[in-house]
């Protein structure tokens, strides 16, 4: 079956557009490489970009179920597996480029992974993602059973935490992008909590969730700076009040949260009658 076909074998515009979107970052990175746009350390920059896209697609995978639940867009479930496998593909490419950077020296790679905490964390996330990828097929769902498969693929949430922690630790001083990914993860987990507690997804509760997500992002980013760098947490918090250089991650998370609330405001169905998420978040039949 082609990746742009649905389970009935028919062409799906949604799957085709998603498939094209999953390829675009790799094509762009390759183009940058060929044109010399990756800077003086091209391989190092390619390693960074593939890792970044892996985290982005992992967050996109986790966003499918909340979007389906809030917007009632059930059809989006058919691209969840594709997004999850794309996150794995970019993660494998990320590790592969790192291995090339280490001259494919297995002993050296193993030593680095064992001695450097952020590499250990990243490698654990890679192994766990490989396990999810290997069990994402319909045959494995039948073999494991729906409940066992669902519990296994629930590991995608701690995997996301490990991936973002790895991102923070290798970002050194500027953790803006890592903080943004963490903020989006916090927002998605808050939506998940609302569903578990059966709290109606009204525009008001979703707007409040966006505010909490934005504040949590600002506090977590400041906390990281306070603990891991010499930059005072208070200075990192204060930076959120200045827009002359850049819009801080907390504001982006708040903006997305409020946009979701507006999306729900346009949905005329009763909040508790919107479809509930089913299955694991890492993969779906599609």
- Provide the residue-wise pLDDT of the chain in tens; the chain has 286 residues: 788 888 888 999 999 999 999 999 999 999 999 999 999 999 999 999 999 999 999 999 999 999 888 888 888 999 999 999 999 999 999 999 999 999 999 999 999 999 999 999 999 999 999 999 999 998 999 999 999 999 999 999 999 999 999 999 998 788 999 999 999 999 999 999 999 999 999 999 999 999 999 999 999 999 999 999 888 999 999 999 998 878 999 999 999 999 999 988 876 555 544 544 434 434 434 4
Q: Are 152 and 144 in contact (CB under 8 A)?
A: yes
Q: Are 46 and 97 in contact (CB under 8 A)?
A: yes
DSSP bridge pairs for 5: 11
Phi-psi region of 39 (alpha: psi -120 to 50; beta: other; left: phi over 0): left
**Cβ-Cβ contacts under 8 Å for 256 (sequence gap 6 or more):** 184, 187, 210
The model's pTM: 0.91
Q: Are 283 and 62 in contact (CB under 8 A)?
A: no
Distance CA 116, CA 133 (A): 26
């Amino acid at each position: 079956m082609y990746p742009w076909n649905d389970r009935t074998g028919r062409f799906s515009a949604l799957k085709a557009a998603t498939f094209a979107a999953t390829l675009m970052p790799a094509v762009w990175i390759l183009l940058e490489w060929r044109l010399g746009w990756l800077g003086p350390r091209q391989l190092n920059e390619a390693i960074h970009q593939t890792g970044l896209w892996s985290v982005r697609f992992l967050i996109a995978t986790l966003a499918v179920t909340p979007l389906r639940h809030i917007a009632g867009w059930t059809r989006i479930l058919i691209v969840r597996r594709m997004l999850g496998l794309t996150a794995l593909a970019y993660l494998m490419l990320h590790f592969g480029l790192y291995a090339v950077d280490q001259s494919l020296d297995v002993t050296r790679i193993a030593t680095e992974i064992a001695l450097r905490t952020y590499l250990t964390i990243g490698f654990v996330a890679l192994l766990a993602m490989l396990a999810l990828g290997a069990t994402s097929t319909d045959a494995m769902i039948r073999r494991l059973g729906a409940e066992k498969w669902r519990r296994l693929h629930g590991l995608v949430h701690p995997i996301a935490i490990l991936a973002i922690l790895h991102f923070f630790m290798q970002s050194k001083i500027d953790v803006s992008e890592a903080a943004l990914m963490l903020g989006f993860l916090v927002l998605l987990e808050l939506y998940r909590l609302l569903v578990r507690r059966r709290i109606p997804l009204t525009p008001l509760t979703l707007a409040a969730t966006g505010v909490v997500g934005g504040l949590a992002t600002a506090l977590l980013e400041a906390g990281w700076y306070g603990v891991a760098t010499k930059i005072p947490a208070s200075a990192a918090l204060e930076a959120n009040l200045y827009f002359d250089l850049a819009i801080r991650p907390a504001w982006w998370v708040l903006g997305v949260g409020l946009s979701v609330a507006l999306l729900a405001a346009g949905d005329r169905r009763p909040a508790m009658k919107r479809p509930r998420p089913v299955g694991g978040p890492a993969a779906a039949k599609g």
